[in-house]
């Protein structure tokens, strides 16, 4: 049975996609994703937890927040990555890492502000 960790998310949605089983999820990240879900609708997680090997294979930073279970790359149904980025940047103007890409939005709960 799937482990539900919040109203709309299950732990396996955050699991490293290499199959290693790494699935630690930061509570603040989960809370932010719940907020995005309640604001916009369905949220798909493209990438969240990454073990070191998988992070290297996808070209992730050696200091990636994905390695700590503190980051997620998300797609929001019927909403552009730019719009999700704007929402998060407005809601958290002085905190976290937020990035906008062509097909997804990155959010992480690092201890300082970063934007790209």
- Domain-wise residue ranges, the chain: 11-115
Looking at every residue in the chain, the average pLDDT score rounds to 97
User: Is residue 50 predicted with pLDDT exceeding 90?
Assistant: yes
Instruction: Give the three-class secondary structure for 2.
Output: coil
Per-residue CA distances from 36 to 17, 51, 86, 100 (Å): 22, 25, 12, 15
pLDDT at 3 over 90: yes
Third-level CATH fold of 11-115? Muramoyl-pentapeptide Carboxypeptidase; domain 2 (3.30.1380)
Instruction: Indicate the pLDDT class of residue 1, thresholds 50, 70 and 90.
Output: confident
């Amino acid at each position: 049975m799937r482990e539900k960790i919040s109203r709309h998310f299950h732990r396996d949605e955050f699991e490293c996609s290499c199959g290693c089983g790494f699935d630690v999820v930061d509570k603040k990240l989960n809370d932010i994703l719940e907020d995005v879900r309640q604001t916009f609708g369905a949220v798909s997680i493209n990438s969240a937890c990454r073990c070191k090997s998988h992070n290297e294979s996808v070209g992730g930073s050696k200091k990636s927040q994905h390695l700590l279970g503190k980051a997620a790359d998300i797609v929001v149904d019927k909403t552009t990555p730019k719009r999700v980025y704007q929402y998060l940047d407005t809601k958290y103007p002085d905190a976290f890492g937020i990035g906008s890409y062509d097909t997804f939005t990155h959010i992480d709960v690092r201890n300082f502000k970063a934007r790209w």
